[in-house]
Copies of this chain bind each other. A is one copy, B any other.
Amino acid sequence: MSTIYDVAKESGFSLSTISNVLNNGPRPVRAETRQRILATMRRLNYHPSAMARGLARRKTHTLGILFGVVEPSAVVLNAYSADVLQGVLTAAAATGFNVTHYTNPWIDAEQSLANFRDQRSDGLIVVAPPIDSDLMPALASLDLPLVAVSWPSGEVAVPSVDADDRVGTRLVVQHLLDLGHRRIAHLMGHGNLLSALTRRDVFLDTMAAAGIARDPALVLPGQYSAETGHENARKLLTMPDPPTAIFAGNDEIAMGVLEAARELGVRIPEDLSLVGYDDRPISALLTPRLTTVKQPFIRIGEHATRLLLERIAGKEVEPVMHWLTPELVVRDSTAPPRR
C-alpha cells in the first residue's frame, strides 16, 4: 500500500501539493503539476486512507444508524426497519456518505455510550428508540449530530421524523364518508400503543366533525392481530344493525375481518367496506385486494438522513417533529354502501 509520501517522493512534489491535488484545494495547483501527480498516483496504485483523513479532518464522511426497540435478532427483518434503512441508504448514497450500523444493542448510558463517543461517524440516526430508557438523553448529551425516527421529540431537543397517523386516519374516514357510509366501525390495536390511540381518537373526531353521532358499540378495543380482528368482526357483523364499513386498526386486523366476513357470507365490498392500515405486501394480494394506508417509511428514512446531513454540513436544524404524510391506497375492498 503506497502512501502520500511515496507519491511525493516519486513525483518530486511536496506533501502539501499532493494533498491539494487530492482535495482540489484549498491552494491552487498548476494544471501540469496536477496531471503529473495524478499520473504518479495511478502508477503507484495510490488511494488515500480514510482513517488518516478522518483523523486529520475530524470528519469521517460516514453516518451511523442505531435501531432502538427492535429485537437484536430482528433488527432489519420487519418491513418497518427495512424500509427506513432503505431510505437512509438511498439518501446517504446521494451524497457519497457510507452508513455504519452500530450493532451492539443499547444497554444503558454507562455501558453503551462509549461506542458513540469514538468519532467513528459524523452523525447518528436513531430509529425507534425506546421511550423509557436513557438512550436518547445520553446520545443527545454528546456533541454528535443526532436525528431520531419515530420518537416523540420532547424533553430532549432532537429533531425527529415520523409518519402522521392523524392524516392517515383522516384519509381513511373521509374516503368512507365520501363513499356514503355513515355506520362505520373501528377495530383498535392495543391501547398501550400510541398509534392505536391516535387512530381511534382521530377516527372519533373526524366522524364527529362530519356530524355523525357517536356509537360506542362500533368502536371495539383489541390487538393488532388477525385473531382479535376476526373475533370483533363477528361481533359487529352479527349485530341487528351491522355497520356498512369497518376501519381496521391495521392490515392484520383487516385480515381477521376478511375471514369473519367469508364465514358469515358477508360480501366485501358489496355488503361491507373494509379499510386496513400499513399496506403490508400481502394486502395487495388478498381477495379482494385491500384498501389501506401506505406508510411513508422509506421517505421517513430519506428525510431523517437529509436532516442529519444538513446538521453535519453546519446548518441549523430545529429540534422539532417532522410529520410525513401517509398515502391512502384505494383497492377493491371499499365501495358505496348498499341502499
Contacts and interface: CB of A to CB of B under 8 A. Distances in A.
Contacts of A281: 281-282
A89 interface: yes
A85 B88 CA distance: 15
Contacts of A282: 281-282, 285
Given A97-B103, A99-B101, A101-B101, A118 B86 contact: no
Copies in the complex: 2
A77 interface: yes
Given A282-B281, A282-B282, A74 B101 contact: no
A98 to B, nearest CB: 5
A73 B87 CA distance: 8
Contact of A119 (B51, B92, B97): B51
Contact of A86 (B49, B52, B77, B96): B77
B82 A120 contact: no
A104 interface: yes
Interface string A44-61: 000111111111001010
Interface residues of A, number: 47
A92 to B, nearest CB: 5
B72 A77 contact: no
Interface in A268-312: 281-282, 285
A83 interface: yes
B90 A83 contact: no
Given A98-B103, A103-B97, A282-B282, A119 B50 contact: yes
A103 B99 contact: yes
Interface string A132-148: 00000000000100000
A142 B150 CA distance: 40
6 contacts: A51-B54, A53-B118, A75-B86, A92-B101, A98-B101, A281-B282
